[in-house]
């Protein structure tokens, strides 16, 4: 039994002082008492919060962060020119590289305050497109990274079969992703076995890449394969994508998806930056989660998610880091809010009459992330997983701050460096702001990057 004594904690009932929290050996939260006295064996912490889920990541892309910011030969640089560079980059990566890069990403997630990595993993095969002897080789590498870093993992092996809505063959940069439905089902089962060797808080889910990359007739089979586990898919990210789906299937992506698929609260639809007002309202009402990655969406010029309308229709959101160009929990929330302000010429766009902007965004993120990961988390409550993060109450930007103002200052005036400790299902992986195996993980990542340098 681990015992914590927090000066301040955000409980389901609201902010509380002098909170005694027990973490049981199975990684769940035990008794929680406010206005308590510390026990002799309690570890004293500052501001205790539920630690959120990083709901969408392509870990391998972290190694190319910052390498695509110069203008290419095309007259207008875009997501599609970036994608060409990404394809060239991934053709250098071995399974060993994928494991080292993923461990580094998970370390950065933990140090930023995330307790869980939902990994949208589509880099399955060898450089020539041939499967490894172990079909789930790279999925096992992602699991091995999680075993080293101690992060909670929801692994989403991605189904990617076609190069476009017309079912054209995958291009040279995409052949490492490709499976038909039957081979994907086999890969999924092997990946599930790899996850089963991790701590019991780990999970598995299904992820068709996008409407462009899978057959529409396979979507129902993929939902059945998920068997109630999370179901994630990119949806309506780019304008050309919308045009391609509309031209081939006779409807815009969200419109088609709502008309032809049983959308429910196990679904997490990623980006959704190209929706009409009506699509936004109708998708929000299904209970599906919108998986938002504001830093990547800004970096790639995807567009601005209509957060005001979505939340006005009681929609759920989760936050991810996607391309991992920068892993920053506060950065994602800040850009989400600021993009609404810039578009609408307002302030406090996503606040409510009851909650400040920072508090509302934080509550939405932890609740929606739990849904997206299929994980018993999101609240400091007895019986839930001990996914916890602690902020430094002595930090100059938090001095004398109380209540919701703590989160407002953390998100809009502070940084991820305010995070002192993180527990994932009771595993105390970040102490004094640093991961407990930081140097080993960084050394391996550095060696990987040195080897890749000649190819970047």
Residues annotated as part of the active site: 271, 322
Burial pattern 160-197, b for ≥16 Cβ within 10 A else e, equals bbbbbbeeeebeebbbbbbbeeeebeebbeebbebbee
């Amino acid at each position: 039994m681990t015992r914590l004594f927090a000066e301040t904690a955000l409980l389901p009932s609201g902010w509380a002082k002098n909170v005694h929290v027990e973490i049981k050996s199975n990684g769940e939260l035990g008794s929680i008492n406010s206005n308590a006295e510390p026990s002799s064996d309690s570890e004293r912490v500052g501001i205790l919060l539920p630690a959120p889920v990083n709901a969408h990541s392509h870990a391998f892309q972290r190694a190319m962060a910052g390498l695509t910011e110069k203008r290419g030969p095309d007259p207008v640089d875009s997501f599609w020119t970036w994608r060409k560079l990404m394809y060239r980059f991934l053709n250098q990566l071995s399974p060993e590289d994928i494991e080292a890069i993923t461990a580094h990403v998970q370390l950065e997630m933990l140090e930023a305050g995330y307790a869980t990595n939902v990994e949208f993993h589509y880099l399955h095969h060898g450089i020539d497109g041939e499967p490894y002897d172990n079909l789930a080789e790279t999925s096992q590498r992602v699991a091995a990274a999680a075993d080293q870093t101690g992060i909670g993992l929801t692994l989403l092996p991605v189904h990617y079969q076609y190069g476009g809505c017309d079912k054209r063959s995958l291009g040279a940069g995409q052949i490492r992703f490709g499976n038909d439905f039957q081979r994907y089902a086999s890969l999924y089962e092997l990946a599930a076995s790899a996850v089963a060797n991790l701590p019991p808080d780990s999970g598995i889910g299904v992820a068709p890449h996008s409407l462009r990359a899978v057959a529409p007739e396979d979507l129902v089979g993929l939902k059945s394969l998920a068997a109630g586990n999370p179901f994630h898919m990119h949806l309506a990210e780019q304008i050309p994508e919308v045009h391609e789906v509309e031209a081939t299937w006779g409807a815009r992506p969200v419109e088609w998806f709502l008309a032809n698929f049983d959308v429910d609260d196990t679904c997490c639809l990623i980006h959704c930056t190209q929706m009409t007002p009506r699509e936004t309202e109708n998708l929000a009402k299904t209970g599906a989660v919108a998986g938002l990655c504001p830093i990547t969406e800004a970096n790639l010029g995807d567009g601005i998610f209509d957060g005001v309308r979505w939340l006005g229709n009681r929609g759920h959101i989760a936050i991810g880091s996607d391309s991992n160009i920068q892993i920053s929990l506060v950065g994602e929330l800040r850009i989400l809010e600021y993009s609404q302000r810039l578009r609408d010429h307002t302030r406090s766009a996503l606040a409510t009459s009851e909650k400040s902007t920072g508090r509302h965004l934080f509550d939405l993120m932890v609740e929606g992330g739990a849904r997206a990961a299929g994980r018993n988390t999101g609240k400091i409550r007895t019986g839930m997983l001990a996914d916890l993060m602690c902020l430094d109450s002595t930090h100059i930007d938090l001095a004398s701050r109380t209540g919701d103002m703590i989160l407002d200052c953390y998100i809009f005036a502070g940084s991820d460096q305010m995070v002192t400790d993180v527990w994932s299902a009771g595993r105390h992986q970040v102490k004094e702001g640093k991961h407990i195996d930081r140097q080993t993980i960084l050394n391996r990542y550095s060696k990987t990057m040195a080897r890749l340098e000649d190819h970047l």
